Amino acid sequence: MKKNRQYSFSSILVEFLGSMNLAITVLVGIAIASIIGTLLRQNEPYQNYIIKFGPFWHDVFVSLGLYDIYGAWWFVALLFFLLLTTSVCIVRNGPSMLRDMRNYRINAGRNSLRAFHNKAEWVADTDQEELIKNIESHMHDEGYKTRKKLHDDHIMIAAMRGSFNRLGYLFTHISIVIICVGSVIMYNMPLKYALFTGDVKIETDNALPASKVSKQSVLNKDNPSFRGSVSISEGQSANIVFLNIENGFLIQELPFDIELKDFRIEHYVSGQPKSFESDLVIHDDDLDKPLETTISVNHPLLYKGYAMYQASFNDGGSKLELRAWPLTDPELETLDLQGAVFGKIPMEVNGKVYTIEINDFRKFNINPVDSETSKKKFKNFGPNFTFKLRDDQGQAREYVNYMSPIEQNGSLYFLSGVRSSVAEPFRYLYIPVDSQGTVKRFMKFYAAMQDKKRVRKVVDETVNDMLSGLVTEKRLEISGDMKKTTNRLVALFVEGGIVAINKHIENNIAASQRQKATATYYDILRKTLGNLYINILQQEGVDITQGISDVDSDFFDDALTVYGNIDDYGAPFYLEMKDFEHIQASGLQIARAPGKEIIVFGCVLLIIGIFIMFYIQQRRCWIWIGNKKDSNYEVILAGSCNRNERDFAQDFIKLKQRLAQRLGLREDDENH
């Protein structure tokens, strides 16, 4: 009985590591990871992912390392196994493939050749040396290289074509090793290790300025590989790059300074960016003079192994002239402020401290509008700025205010949007524009409604006017109660708008009388506030002897609507933008990738290897020439191919026909 062969652990391990199943499994894993890395944007701030996926899935994705998938431990492990299994395969099979390229297998036997599917048998009556010479010459003409060997009873001529096919297999495997090595260099494994050991720490305070970041969060100029971004304002320079990692960032030092001389941008009619470019100046001690160049999208600057890409653009700290209009206290005066994007302005209103945090400025706001012909067009709404108003408790609301009036339904308004979080859409306050194109009239009217002394005076005048047709005794009897009610109505409106009045009616008036009371209250309120509005017009010098114009009347209605929504606005003042100095910033992505050239070389080698495997076929032919018998030589031709057997079978038929015709061979009737 035959004993089973015993395998050592090392041989089993080598067999496993060099197996095709392991290689395919690893490749599938890397392919799936690459798809995820392509669909899911990598190395974004964690807050962006939380907003997009929610806390639960964010935690799941963090645990799986999907936000930095190419640096995740399991992806590195896949690369390691791919590198290992491919290397084992090269070591095991490479020598035999190289030998096979030079091995003509010249010792094939007569019976084995006759067993080939592609074969032919002839007899030849020519001289043996001439026969051999003609066979070799013909095979050379067919593109084959030949070797011959003299045996006791026969002569063997072995021919081979496409021996470089084996190099295709070697090149593809070697290219995978090269790509894996380049990938390890690209993904900066030394930095990953330093983060793991704690030698480098991620800075999680995104509001911390670069100058105050700990040295453990700053990478020196010798760091071999990184990809980060930096925003540079016009006229400013930078010599650092910010690397987004996990829930924070690292700072990468650069061996030169990058100055943004100018930034230009063009827009489509729709307002979308058409093209943008930056004029950069590189300041380096190794240069005789600064290097000036222009970069744009898809046209980066390559300098000292650093690639600088035009990635984005934003505001670079535009300077704004603002005016704060008080909304809570009529005795407060307007206040002129100077601010800048990314800056903060402290303010104290009625004993409370607020901070204005200016976040952004946009010079153009081109939005679609519906024209009278129902064809969608685009219109520039003009400049706006975005800011957060934060109270002393740290609570903040975000606002966006437009500088120029915007037309809505035939009237002009100053738009001011507000929202409590970035997940909400802006809710807009439409402040009507006066005849001078400003908010002054509305602010005066607003302040007048909050001036209790002035309101009481107008109430007295309004009630007296309404009761002027009554006899003195009757007028005196009801005027006191009516003035009291009117003052109460105005106070309710000032405190809570129409909603407060409706709530008062619901709580104090019987259901059967509510409709009549509502109409009466609204009429009294409108007349009172109308008289207050007329006082404002008179102060402006508006001629009302012929009555109030339709434009001024519409302004009054719009002002009451705005006042009814002012409580939801949530700010003690309205910020008007008076002027600005636009400063732009260019967002650059800077990368240093020494492994890129290695990967490119590996990819080129992979393409060459695949081309060789698919388009160069290894074909072998053997011509067996037996010793002379009955004045004839027995000739056997056999051939094989390592792939595309059907094509080779057709070519073999043509080959044997041409060979027989050239040599004058005739078929061996004994063997057919």
- The separation between the first and the last C-alpha atoms of the chain, rounded to the nearest angstrom, is 43
In this model, does residue 469 exceed pLDDT 70? no
- Burial zone of 390 (CB within 10 Å; 0-12 exposed, 13-18 middle, 19+ buried): middle
Residue after which a domain boundary falls, among 556, 581, 606: 581
CATH number at residue 642: 3.30.310.80
Residue 328 is which amino acid?
T
Q: What percent of the chain has pLDDT over 90?
A: 41
In a domain, residue 458? The reply is no
What one-character DSSP code corresponds to residue 102? H
Spatial distance between the Cα atoms of 240 and 232, rounded to a whole number of angstroms: 10
Residue 168, domain member (yes or no): no
Nearest to 570 by CA among 322, 328, 347: 328
SS3 597: helix
Tell me which residue range forms the domain holding 122: 106-163+617-671
Residue at 652 is within a domain: yes
Mean pLDDT of 387-415: 92
Residues 370 and 384 in one domain: yes
The amino acid present at 348, given as its one-letter code, is E
Structural domain contains residue 56: yes
Report whether 349 contacts 326 (CB < 8 A).
Answer: yes
The answer to the question of residue 20 being in a domain is yes
As given in the structure block, the two tokens for residue 423 are 């997940």
For 309-356, the pLDDT digits (tens) are: 999 999 999 999 999 999 887 777 889 999 999 999 999 888 889 999
Closest C-alpha among 119, 118, 108 to residue 667: 119
In a domain, 514, yes or no: no
Residues 115 and 62 in one domain: no
Q: Are residues 402 and 288 in the same domain?
A: no
Say whether both 43 and 91 belong to one domain. yes
Amino acid at residue number 198: G
3-state secondary structure of 650: helix
Give a three-class secondary structure readout of 327-380: CCCCCCCCEEEEEECCCEEEEEECCEEEEEEEEEEECCCEEEEECCCCCEEEEE
- 375 band by pLDDT with thresholds 50, 70 and 90: low
Whether 323 and 295 map to the same domain: the answer is no
CB atoms under 10 Å from CB of 624, counted, come to 23
If you average pLDDT over residues 623-652, what whole number do you get? 87
Give the number of domains in the chain: 4
Among 592, 626, 647, give the residue marking a domain's end.
592
Q: What pLDDT is stored for residue 374 in this prediction?
A: 46
Mean pLDDT over 52-73 rounds to 86
Residue 624 and residue 149: Cα distance in Å, rounded?
10
Cβ–Cβ under 8 Å, residues 258 and 290: no
242 lies in the same domain as 149 = no
Residues 311 and 325 reside in one and the same domain: no
- How far is CA 566 from each of CA 230, 231, 327, 354, 552, rounded to the nearest angstrom? 40, 37, 9, 18, 21
Query: Does one domain contain both 202 and 284?
Result: yes
The mean pLDDT of 480-503, rounded to a whole number, is: 84
Half-sphere exposure (CA, 13 Å, Cβ side) for 292?
Answer: 4
- Shared domain check, 328 and 304: no
Mean pLDDT confidence for 277-294: 94
pLDDT (tens digit per residue) in 170-219: 999 999 999 988 888 877 778 888 888 889 999 988 878 888 999 999 99
- Is residue 225 pLDDT above 80, yes or no? yes
The answer as to whether 144 is a domain residue is: yes
Beta bridge partner(s), residue 322: 337, 577
88 and 128 belong to one structural domain: no
Q: Do the strands 406-408 and 291-296 form a parallel or antiparallel pair, or are they unpaired?
A: unpaired
Task: Of 403, 417, 324, give the one whose Cα is nearest residue 363.
Answer: 403
pLDDT tens profile 13-58: 878 887 888 888 888 999 999 899 888 888 777 878 888 888 899 8
Whether 508 maps to a domain, the answer reads no
Read off the tokens for 520. Answer: 């009466």
Work out whether strand 352-362 and strand 344-349 pair parallel, antiparallel, or are unpaired: antiparallel
| Mean per-residue pLDDT over the chain, rounded | 87
> Rounded to whole angstroms, how far apart are CA atoms 367 and 269?
10
Q: Are residues 312 and 197 in the same domain?
A: yes
User: Same structural domain for residues 82 and 112?
Assistant: no
